[in-house]
Amino acid sequence: MAHRYERIVILTGAGLSAESGLSTFRDKDGIWSKVRIEDVATPEAFARDPQGVLDFYNGRRNNSRGVEPNAAHAALARLEADYPGEVLTVTQNIDPLHERAGTTNLIHMHGEILKTLCHHCGARGPYDRDLMVHEACGHCGREGGLRPDVVWFGEMPYEMERIYAALGVCDLFISIGTSGNVYPAAGFVAEARGAGARTVELNLEPSEGISHFDEAIHGKATEVVPAYVERLLAG
Ligand code: NAD
Ligand code: APR
């Protein structure tokens, strides 16, 4: 009898969007080989050089506009739509490719590049122009506080309670396209194992957390993810 999972949690990282043309962070030529985290991805950087941080994210926002979801995003949307059990996708990615492929049960734990957050009033909302430091918030009217709605190093990710609740009851955990370098996401596989879930890594190469996985299939996401989804859908 083929195993049917009741509750699947999927964690995705930058490697899922690599074949759509978006850079990863820690591969050769990755984002962090070109710019320093402490210069663009911390609250201190924003306080020190707000326009410099906005320029960095304006560039990444424009990149994410011009790209399309790939076969791996499409396969995950199909899994959510067609699999008889519940499927929750938790992404570390700030690009909109999961939702553009059709995934709906989705958490952007590091925020979304196409949204802004007002430092002053906390209002979040879509934004389709480059962010300028003196732009006034459409909600509270104050200037100098608009930032990309992206979680920086040292900040708490979004929806952690909902994520841990899902990890605590899942029976299959699939990690895709993430190096397992950044916590708390890097600790999710251990949470899932603690709940008795089967754990599977689909990645170009072994991640930092490889020893926690029951199964690992290494290769390009556009190849290994559709193949694994077909296996799940076949029962
Ligand atoms: P961390 O201590 O977990 O650092 C994780 C990795 O990030 C490190 O292994 C290192 O590779 C890199 N890193 C972190 N700070 C760095 C720095 N100042 N210089 C160079 N490399 C650095 O990260 P943290 O500071 O504890 O932050 C964790 C929180 O930040 C989590 O909530 C995570 O979700 C969030 N986060 C957001 C982003 C983002 O760009 N959206 C990036 C990473 C972490
Ligand atoms: N197919 C599958 N996996 C791939 C592919 C691909 N085509 N290309 C790269 N990878 C894998 C790499 O082997 C690597 O393990 O994707 C992973 C990318 O790792 P990172 O660049 O570290 O990206 P990620 O794990 O998402 O980073 C986590 O760190 O800087 C922060 O906020 C940022 O959310 C990000 C977090």
Q: What pLDDT digit, counting tens, does each position of 131-150 carry?
A: 988 899 999 999 988 999 99
Give binding residues as ranges. 13-32, 57, 60, 92-95, 118, 121, 137, 140, 177-179, 203-205, 221
* Residues noted as catalytic: 110
Tell me the two tokens of residue 167.
């990890």
Segment 169-184 shows an average pLDDT of: 97
Segment 166-184 shows an average pLDDT of: 97
CB-CB contact of 226 with 49 (8 Å): no
- CA dist 162 and 204 (Å) reads 28
Exposed, middle or buried by CB within 10 Å (0-12, 13-18, 19+), for 113? Answer: buried
Please give all residues whose beta carbon lies within 6 A of any atom in ligand 2, as ranges.
13-15, 18-19, 24-27, 30, 92, 110, 177-179, 181-182, 203-205, 207, 220-221
Q: Is 25's C-beta closer than 6 angstroms to any atom of ligand 1?
A: no
- CA dist 84 and 203 (Å) reads 25
For residues 31, 161, 6, 73, the Cα torsion angle rounded to the nearest 10 degrees is -20
85 CA distance to ligand 2 middle (Å): 27
CB atoms inside a 10 Å sphere around CB 33? 12
Phi, psi of 114 (to 5 degrees): -90, 10
Q: Is 110's C-beta closer than 6 angstroms to any atom of ligand 1?
A: yes
Distances (CA, A) of 92 to 27, 50, 158: 16, 23, 10
Q: What pLDDT digit, counting tens, does each position of 72-129 carry?
A: 999 999 999 999 999 999 999 999 999 999 999 999 999 999 999 998 999 999 888 8
Segment 35-50 shows an average pLDDT of: 95
Is 188 a residue whose pLDDT tops 70? yes
Phi, psi of 88 (to 5 degrees): -115, 130
Q: How confident is the model at residue 3 (pLDDT cuts 50, 70, 90)?
A: low
CB atoms inside a 10 Å sphere around CB 92? 21
Q: Which residue has the least CA distance to atom 40 on ligand 1? A: 152
Alpha helices in 93-220 (DSSP H): 97-101, 160-169, 188-194
ipTM: 0.84
Give binding residues for substrate as ranges. 57, 60
